[in-house]
Amino acid sequence: MDSCRSAAWLDYFICCLFALIQCAPAHAVDSVEVGVTVDEAKSAPPAADKAKPALVKLFETGVDALSMKDYEAAYQAFHRAADQGYSKAQSALAGLYLRGQGVAANSAEAITWYRKAAEQGDAEGQTGLGLLYAQGQGVERNDELAANWLRQAAEQGDATAQSSLGVMYLEGRGVDSNESTAADWFRRAALQGDFPAQDNLAAAFRDGRGVEVDEIEAAWWFRQAAEKGDPVAQTNLGLAYFQGQGVHQDDIEAVQWFRQAAEAENALAQYYLGVSYSEGRGLAQDEVEGRKWLESAAQQGLPEARDYLNTRTR
């Protein structure tokens, strides 16, 4: 049973990318002409943002306004600084356009401002532009351009870009598939505390994808992400305890992790929590509670939950 992170990783990364400015993905409401080639993406200049103190102050004013959820004031401050070429403000402004904070949501405008920042070498702008190319949001999907922009940001140390580039290599999107290179980018991001990368690196160690199988190392990385609240990692760590892989077998510990992930609507965790209740593993047997969790997993489309329910009713 595959408990790895799903292909919805792009949605997740776009959401996480702008956590600093409270941004989340939005649907495209406009279109924009791409107007950039792979060669142009590869040759974008390094960051050299020699901003005037007044622009820095404007940007900080926008950040303060955003922290107070005064989106209109944040938009005005970021826009003024972005118009004068400050790349950090350009990236922040793009985030507001993605979410529709202080301005109507417009993916095309987000692309425009990310491009301006990216072409100045701003890592957040490069990451944002790369992810939108990868998703085809506000621009025609182009995996090669996505990988090139993500690489530029990743080489500057941007953890989200490193983690995203790792997935591109794992899936062979815009680059030749290479599990070893994917694991290397996951490791770089994981060491910076990026929990999707920690989860993916753990899965690589568990499954031997790009690295030697090491169940102890896998469990350690799953724990790093699980303790940050990632339901996928919590489920995987629960499975490690459930099966005694890389840790001592402990049904009680497994149930604790399954419960946290199940309450976050993770279908696989709900399934295993239901099984635990039904069989009395790690807690008192309770068929009613077990059925509740199994039905919740089945409603999310998990076939194992439906099959298990059928065996309990025979």
Name all domains of the chain by residue range, CATH numbers in brackets.
Answer: 1-177 (1.25.40.10), 250-314 (1.25.40.10)
CA–CA–CA angle 235, 239, 242 (5° rounding): 135
Alpha-carbon span 55 to 276, nearest angstrom: 57
pLDDT, residue 313, reads 72
Mean pLDDT of successive 10-residue stretches along the chain, which has 314 residues: 45 44 25 30 43 91 96 97 97 96 96 98 97 95 98 98 98 97 98 96 97 98 97 97 97 98 98 97 96 97 95 76
Q: How far apart are CA 145 and CA 174, in angstroms?
A: 7
Q: Cα(191)–Cα(159) distance, rounded to whole angstroms?
A: 9
pLDDT the model gives residue 28: 22
Instruction: Quote the pLDDT of residue 312.
Output: 80
pLDDT at 192: 97
Per-residue pLDDT at 314: 61
Residue 183: both structure tokens together: 């694991």
Task: Write the Ramachandran bin of 35: left for phi over 0, alpha for psi from -120 to 50, otherwise beta.
Answer: left
CB 75 within 8 A of CB 66: no
Burial of residue 245 (number of CB atoms within 10 Å: 0-12, 13-18, 19+) = middle
Quote the pTM value.
0.81
The confidence score (pLDDT) of residue 17 equals 45
Q: Which residue has the tokens 């059928």?
A: 310
Distance CA 153, CA 131 (A): 11
